Amino acid sequence: MDTVRSEEETKKVINRLSRAEGQIRGIQKMINDDKDCMDVMTQLSAVRSSIDRVMGMVVANNLKDCVENPEGDPAAQSKKLEQAINMIIKK
């Protein structure tokens, strides 16, 4: 998907991904330190939620771009919107 993002939006996405990266490193350490399974699962769930939020941000930006900068070809515009919607509902 092509998306035009402002510098601020890009920064927000990168910050969230960096936090998720740090969480994953923490989970790796927990596993190496043989921490409790439920604690590890709690952290894995938090990472999954974080990534889901990032995906939502990216797709929302794409939808916004589609509405604000429509394709000249209605069929191409419809395809971009359909792709974005499918990304939102796909789990």
Q: What is the pLDDT of residues 10-27, one digit of tens each?
A: 899 999 999 999 999 999
Long-range contacts of 9-17 (CB under 8 A, 24+ apart): 9/57, 9/61, 12/57, 13/54, 13/57, 13/58, 16/50, 16/53, 16/54, 16/57, 17/54
In the numeric block, the tokens 């952290």 are attached to 43
**Residue, of 79 and 2, whose pLDDT is higher:** 79
Q: Which domains can be identified in the chain, with CATH numbers?
A: 7-89 (1.20.58.1000)
Helix axes 7-32 and 37-68, enclosed angle (nearest 10): 160
**Residue, of 26 and 1, whose pLDDT is higher:** 26
| CB-based contact 52:41 (threshold 8 Å) | no
**Residue, of 44 and 62, whose pLDDT is higher:** 44
**Residue, of 16 and 3, whose pLDDT is higher:** 16
**Residue, of 30 and 66, whose pLDDT is higher:** 30
